[in-house]
Amino acid sequence: MMKHWLAGAAAFAMMAGVAFAQSTSSESSTSTHTTTTKTVPFFGSSSSSETREHTDSNGNTSDSSKTYDSDSSGSKATSSSRTSSPDGSEQSTSHESQTQSPSGASTFTKKSTTTTINR
Protein backbone atom coordinates (compact mmCIF):
# COMPACT_ATOMS: atom_id res chain seq x y z
CA MET A 1 0.00 0.00 0.00
CA MET A 2 2.83 2.39 0.89
CA LYS A 3 4.42 1.76 -2.54
CA HIS A 4 1.20 2.86 -4.27
CA TRP A 5 0.86 5.91 -2.04
CA LEU A 6 4.44 6.99 -2.73
CA ALA A 7 4.02 6.43 -6.47
CA GLY A 8 0.84 8.49 -6.43
CA ALA A 9 2.49 11.26 -4.41
CA ALA A 10 5.44 11.31 -6.85
CA ALA A 11 3.05 11.49 -9.82
CA PHE A 12 1.17 14.35 -8.19
CA ALA A 13 4.39 16.26 -7.53
CA MET A 14 5.48 15.82 -11.15
CA MET A 15 2.10 17.00 -12.49
CA ALA A 16 2.00 19.97 -10.17
CA GLY A 17 5.55 20.92 -11.15
CA VAL A 18 4.68 20.73 -14.85
CA ALA A 19 1.54 22.82 -14.40
CA PHE A 20 3.34 25.56 -12.53
CA ALA A 21 6.59 25.38 -14.54
CA GLN A 22 4.72 26.35 -17.71
CA SER A 23 4.28 29.89 -16.42
CA THR A 24 7.46 31.86 -17.17
CA SER A 25 6.13 35.33 -16.40
CA SER A 26 8.54 37.69 -14.69
CA GLU A 27 5.91 40.12 -13.38
CA SER A 28 5.64 40.72 -9.67
CA SER A 29 2.54 39.45 -7.95
CA THR A 30 0.11 41.73 -6.19
CA SER A 31 -2.30 39.24 -4.63
CA THR A 32 -2.18 35.56 -3.73
CA HIS A 33 -4.65 33.43 -1.79
CA THR A 34 -4.00 29.79 -0.89
CA THR A 35 -6.33 27.27 0.76
CA THR A 36 -5.03 23.82 1.72
CA THR A 37 -7.22 21.01 3.09
CA LYS A 38 -6.00 17.61 4.28
CA THR A 39 -8.32 14.92 5.54
CA VAL A 40 -7.96 11.28 6.54
CA PRO A 41 -11.45 9.80 6.14
CA PHE A 42 -10.56 6.27 7.30
CA PHE A 43 -7.54 4.08 7.98
CA GLY A 44 -5.41 3.42 4.92
CA SER A 45 -6.68 6.33 2.86
CA SER A 46 -5.73 9.96 2.45
CA SER A 47 -7.01 13.01 0.67
CA SER A 48 -5.65 16.52 0.23
CA SER A 49 -6.43 19.55 -1.88
CA GLU A 50 -4.98 22.99 -2.48
CA THR A 51 -6.49 26.00 -4.24
CA ARG A 52 -4.60 29.16 -5.23
CA GLU A 53 -5.88 32.46 -6.58
CA HIS A 54 -3.34 34.96 -7.92
CA THR A 55 -3.44 38.39 -9.59
CA ASP A 56 -0.22 39.81 -11.07
CA SER A 57 0.75 43.48 -11.44
CA ASN A 58 -0.76 43.59 -14.97
CA GLY A 59 -4.18 42.44 -13.72
CA ASN A 60 -3.95 38.90 -15.12
CA THR A 61 -5.71 36.44 -12.82
CA SER A 62 -4.93 32.75 -12.30
CA ASP A 63 -6.78 30.10 -10.35
CA SER A 64 -5.23 26.69 -9.77
CA SER A 65 -6.17 23.62 -7.80
CA LYS A 66 -4.49 20.34 -6.95
CA THR A 67 -6.06 17.26 -5.38
CA TYR A 68 -4.73 13.91 -4.30
CA ASP A 69 -6.78 10.91 -3.17
CA SER A 70 -5.51 7.48 -2.18
CA ASP A 71 -7.20 4.38 -0.80
CA SER A 72 -7.16 0.62 -1.24
CA SER A 73 -8.51 0.93 -4.82
CA GLY A 74 -5.55 3.08 -5.96
CA SER A 75 -4.62 6.74 -6.15
CA LYS A 76 -5.60 9.74 -8.24
CA ALA A 77 -3.83 13.09 -8.60
CA THR A 78 -5.32 16.02 -10.53
CA SER A 79 -4.32 19.61 -11.21
CA SER A 80 -6.28 22.34 -12.96
CA SER A 81 -5.48 25.95 -13.78
CA ARG A 82 -7.20 28.88 -15.45
CA THR A 83 -5.61 32.21 -16.45
CA SER A 84 -7.45 35.28 -17.77
CA SER A 85 -6.36 38.69 -19.01
CA PRO A 86 -7.91 41.73 -17.27
CA ASP A 87 -10.31 42.46 -20.16
CA GLY A 88 -11.19 38.78 -20.68
CA SER A 89 -9.78 38.75 -24.23
CA GLU A 90 -7.49 35.79 -23.53
CA GLN A 91 -8.14 32.75 -21.37
CA SER A 92 -6.12 29.58 -20.90
CA THR A 93 -7.15 26.42 -19.11
CA SER A 94 -5.25 23.25 -18.31
CA HIS A 95 -6.28 20.00 -16.63
CA GLU A 96 -4.07 17.01 -15.82
CA SER A 97 -5.05 13.76 -14.17
CA GLN A 98 -3.13 10.63 -13.25
CA THR A 99 -4.56 7.47 -11.74
CA GLN A 100 -2.79 4.38 -10.50
CA SER A 101 -4.41 1.09 -9.58
CA PRO A 102 -3.08 -1.28 -6.90
CA SER A 103 -1.82 -3.55 -9.69
CA GLY A 104 0.49 -0.74 -10.86
CA ALA A 105 -1.46 0.20 -14.02
CA SER A 106 -1.28 3.96 -14.59
CA THR A 107 -3.26 6.42 -16.73
CA PHE A 108 -2.28 10.03 -17.52
CA THR A 109 -4.46 12.60 -19.31
CA LYS A 110 -3.77 16.23 -20.14
CA LYS A 111 -6.01 18.82 -21.77
CA SER A 112 -5.12 22.46 -22.49
CA THR A 113 -7.09 25.16 -24.29
CA THR A 114 -6.41 28.82 -25.08
CA THR A 115 -9.15 31.19 -26.25
CA THR A 116 -8.36 34.61 -27.72
CA ILE A 117 -11.10 37.15 -28.51
CA ASN A 118 -10.11 40.11 -30.71
CA ARG A 119 -11.42 43.30 -29.15
What would the pLDDT profile of 45-103 be if each residue is shown by its tens digit?
888 999 999 998 888 999 999 999 988 888 999 999 999 999 888 999 999 999 998 88
Residue span of the structural domain in which 15 resides: 2-116
Identify the band that residue 33 occupies on the pLDDT scale cut at 50, 70 and 90: low
Question: How confident is the prediction for the chain on average, in pLDDT?
Answer: 76
Total tally of structural domains belonging to the chain: 1
pLDDT of residue 88: 85
Query: Can you say whether residue 57 is alpha, beta or left, with left for phi > 0 and alpha for psi between -120 and 50 degrees?
Result: alpha
Kind of pairing, strands 90-100 and 61-71? unpaired
Average pLDDT for 5-16: 53
Residue 97: per-residue pLDDT: 94
CB-based contact 15:77 (threshold 8 Å):
yes
- Overall average pLDDT of the 36-50 stretch: 70
Query: What gap in Å lies between CA 35 and CA 67, rounded to an integer?
Result: 12
